[in-house]
Structure 1
Amino acid sequence: MNAPAPHRTTRRLRLLRHATAATAAAGIALTAFTPTAASAAPRPDAVQQRLDALVKQDGVPAALATVKGRDGRNRTYTAGVGDLATGAGVPVDGQIRAGSNTKAFTAVVVLQLVAEGKVGLDASIDTYLPGLLRGDGFDGRNITVRQLLQHTSGLPDYMDVPPLNDFVPIQYRYFEPRELLDGALSQKALFAPGTGWMYSNTNYLVAGLLVQKVTGRPFGEEVTKRVIDRIGLRHTYFPATGETALREPHPHGYLNTGPDAPLIDYTGMDASMAWSTGAIVSTNTDLNTFYSALLAGRLLPAAQLAQMRTTVPAELLGPGVRYGLGLQSRPLTCGGLVWGHGGTSPGYRTRGGATEDGRAATITVTTVPDGTATEHLTDAVDTALCR
């Protein structure tokens, strides 16, 4: 899910300094490095230094990471403060709202249906949801399933219009998927299908509706059965209707609403505003497991995985980034690519993915930082995979 990229404020820094002081007074360590397969913690390394810099220089309340090396071992890291109100530390590998990483899960379910012969990638969305998409410059008879998954449909983003463009009053509001879709239908098409590329949450909203129509089951049940349970993601779930709190230990997530405005604790929320585009709750370690399993062929047959990894340029997401079917590739400074997606939810931003040779890294910060800090977050992932 996309969220506005607000600027740091003096208020945020004051809150962070206050919480840091409270934490130090309580004797809580502000940084931690916990190798899951070692008896003693080594000295802070380059990844820890990157996380510390995100907190101290970029002003995010907390940062947490899991890095899997070629040896298959997971190393977890934390920095900052998990709760600004109490000064509590950051839970190691705590749950986070994974945002648009959900799109990769959604795309896997759709491609599984393709493999089962129930959906055609190059069939029109009208084949399955007749009459659903009719608007100013767009028609579901001319938009294919592939174009939805690759953001080449030209559908406008439902997040760009009220009330979804102001997160504060809708934090605990429930939305039906069709209500969200109405926000997209009120806008003009971005371009003719297949003639451009633009990231739009509406594409994956429609993909979720497609899954429900073809399977006859709620989207959350399908993604749980077909992905989460299938590869044993024990700390990942699709929130139930009306569920607003995170189930396991977690750092709090904070929404920045503008200069000199106080940070808003957005940890609890009704994730229906994101649904099949960004509602999943997970951990950094589970996300590493998901992308590693995906690349290893544990979720899709070879033909569908190849389709998923067939990419088009998506430079709006960063230099060299290309977008497949719910999966991004990003070049690494040490050579090769990291395959993942990344995600933003009000209060959390995540970057990461897996490589061909079994490495994986996911890093999350507990606010939606500005552009410079987001670049630093992406650089930290590169550091984790290339060290």
Structure 2
Amino acid sequence: MTARADLPAAWLAGGRTECRGAADALFPWFSVTKTAIAAAALKLHETGRLDIEARIPGKPFSMAQLLQHRAGLPDYGALPEYREAVARRAPPWPREELLRRAGAGRLVYPPGQGWRYSNIGYMLAGRIVADAAGGTLAEALRTLVADPLGLETMRLAGAEDFARLHWDADGYDPGWVYHGCLVGTATDAARMMDGILGGGLLRPETLERMQRRHPLGDGIPGRPWTRHGYALGLMSGEVARLGRAVGHSGGGPIGSCAVYRFADLAAPVTVAVFSPGTDEGVPETEAVRLASFRA
């Protein structure tokens, strides 16, 4: 396993937090935001403000199905026109235009009878969380996740936040991430995942529900998984010698990241790694290497 000591990283092990690189550097968390949205939805479920198992009014699927990518909604990430517009740094489309271009009015399979990664599903999930919490999604993620876990740098990004990133955003507008893109330090990314999966945020029965995995198969070429699946806002699988790895990867045109908790180790380790490249296998592989070193 090739070391990438040049990649910014943070890890929590044995109650201790360590950081490699500038401790105050801010990074885009991209799809790691899905874990925060799912955790916020589950906090609302615990307080009775949102029933994740009930069918969403006017929709044929539940919040739990949205959070597990099992609602049958399509995605927009592979659309050639989406990729072209992002590449030339065009302004983000209005949401209605995005939904039209992606064919979001048609399900690709009946809810609960398949699996397909869907950023559109998380765009809808974020709106539901915001409505249930009685404010904006940024406010909901702050009050339901960031504040309870003491994450001072975690915030839902606007264009001004991307101007302060460790990497040059090169004119990329975070509005292209339609469910929202969190930014924060590597340390706060690791602390968020550890706080959620280590039992610091959710009740035990809620955490068990969050981690219930839909299996998707064995290894993925170029990535460290030996088995993989998806739970509620969580990529969940196994890696060789370390057992379970639960968390999320993310990426966009300016970088990628991997934030995972390795719970089967004698002393569980949570690692966050950020890479300026777009290959999510790179930070995932480095996260596994760092966890192995601390096992």
| TM-score of the two chains, using structure 2 as the length reference | 0.86
Task: Please state how far the C-alpha of 1:280 moved relative to its aligned partner.
Answer: 0.8
Residue of structure 1 in register with 2:274 after alignment: 364
Residue of structure 2 in register with 1:143 after alignment: 61
Question: Counterparts of 2:229 and 2:31 in 1: how far apart (Å)?
Answer: 16
AA in 1 matched with 2:42: L
Task: Please state how far the C-alpha of 1:332 moved relative to its aligned partner.
Answer: 3.1
Change (3 A) 1:236 1:268: farther
AA in 2 matched with 1:293: G
Question: Counterparts of 1:222 and 1:385 in 2: how far apart (Å)?
Answer: 31
Matches within 5 A, 1:241-280: 242-243=159-160, 245-247=162-164, 250-252=166-168, 266-276=169-179, 278-280=180-182
Matched, 1:119 2:89: no
Residue of structure 1 in register with 2:209 after alignment: 307
AA in 2 matched with 1:213: D
AA in 1 matched with 2:70: T
Change (3 A) 1:296 1:197: same
| Offset from partner CA, 1:314-334 (integer Å, 9 cap, x none) | 338643112110012231323
Task: Please state how far the C-alpha of 1:176 moved relative to its aligned partner.
Answer: 4.4
Question: Counterparts of 2:95 and 2:172 in 1: how far apart (Å)?
Answer: 16
Q: Indicate the percent of aligned positions where both proteins have the same amino acid.
A: 25
Which has the larger strand fraction? 2
Question: Counterparts of 1:302 and 1:100 in 2: how far apart (Å)?
Answer: 24
Residue of structure 2 in register with 1:382 after alignment: 288
Contact (CA 8 Å) 2:12, 2:270: kept in 1 or not? yes
Question: Counterparts of 1:218 and 1:162 in 2: how far apart (Å)?
Answer: 31
Farther off after superposition, 224-233 or 158-167: 158-167
Task: Please state how far the C-alpha of 1:191 moved relative to its aligned partner.
Answer: 1.6
1:344 to 251, 256, 261: 251
Residue of structure 1 in register with 2:109 after alignment: 191
For the residue of structure 1 that corresponds to 2:138, the secondary structure is helix
Contact (CA 8 Å) 1:155, 1:184: kept in 2 or not? no
| TM-score of the two chains, using structure 1 as the length reference | 0.67
The number of residue pairs the alignment matches comes to: 284
| Offset from partner CA, 1:254-288 (integer Å, 9 cap, x none) | xxxxxxxxxxxx34432122142x51112221111
Task: Please state how far the C-alpha of 1:148 moved relative to its aligned partner.
Answer: 0.4
Question: Counterparts of 2:11 and 2:115 in 1: how far apart (Å)?
Answer: 31
Question: Counterparts of 2:82 and 2:147 in 1: how far apart (Å)?
Answer: 31
Task: Give the RMSD, CA atoms, in angstroms.
Answer: 2.5
| Offset from partner CA, 1:177-221 (integer Å, 9 cap, x none) | 444333334574322211111111111011011123323311111
AA in 1 matched with 2:199: G
Contact (CA 8 Å) 1:76, 1:93: kept in 2 or not? no
| Offset from partner CA, 1:147-183 (integer Å, 9 cap, x none) | 10001111100334364232123x3624444443333
Matches within 5 A, 1:82-93: 91-92=22-23
AA in 2 matched with 1:307: R
Question: Counterparts of 2:269 and 2:118 in 1: how far apart (Å)?
Answer: 29
Question: Counterparts of 2:170 and 2:192 in 1: how far apart (Å)?
Answer: 23
| Offset from partner CA, 1:342-370 (integer Å, 9 cap, x none) | 1112211101312334411111111213x
Q: Which 5+ residue runs of structure 1 have no aligned equivalent?
A: 1-45, 53-61, 78-90, 131-139, 253-265
Question: Counterparts of 1:367 and 1:329 in 2: how far apart (Å)?
Answer: 23
Residue of structure 2 in register with 1:69 after alignment: 13
For the residue of structure 1 that corresponds to 2:251, the secondary structure is strand
Task: Please state how far the C-alpha of 1:73 moved relative to its aligned partner.
Answer: 3.6
Residue of structure 2 in register with 1:154 after alignment: 72
Question: Counterparts of 1:212 and 1:378 in 2: how far apart (Å)?
Answer: 30
Contact (CA 8 Å) 1:243, 1:270: kept in 2 or not? no
2:198 to 296, 300, 324: 296
For the residue of structure 2 that corresponds to 1:289, the secondary structure is helix
Q: Which 5+ residue runs of structure 2 have no aligned equivalent?
A: none
Change (3 A) 1:223 1:178: farther
Structure number with bigger Rg: 1
Matches within 5 A, 1:103-252: 103-125=34-56, 127=57, 130=58, 140=59, 142-161=60-79, 163-166=81-84, 167-169=86-88, 171=89, 173-186=91-104, 188-240=106-158, 242-243=159-160, 245-247=162-164, 250-252=166-168
| Offset from partner CA, 1:35-58 (integer Å, 9 cap, x none) | xxxxxxxxxxx9xx6115xxxxxx
Residue of structure 1 in register with 2:189 after alignment: 287
Residue of structure 2 in register with 1:19 after alignment: none
Contact (CA 8 Å) 1:351, 1:363: kept in 2 or not? yes
Which 4+ runs in 1 deviate beyond 6 A? none
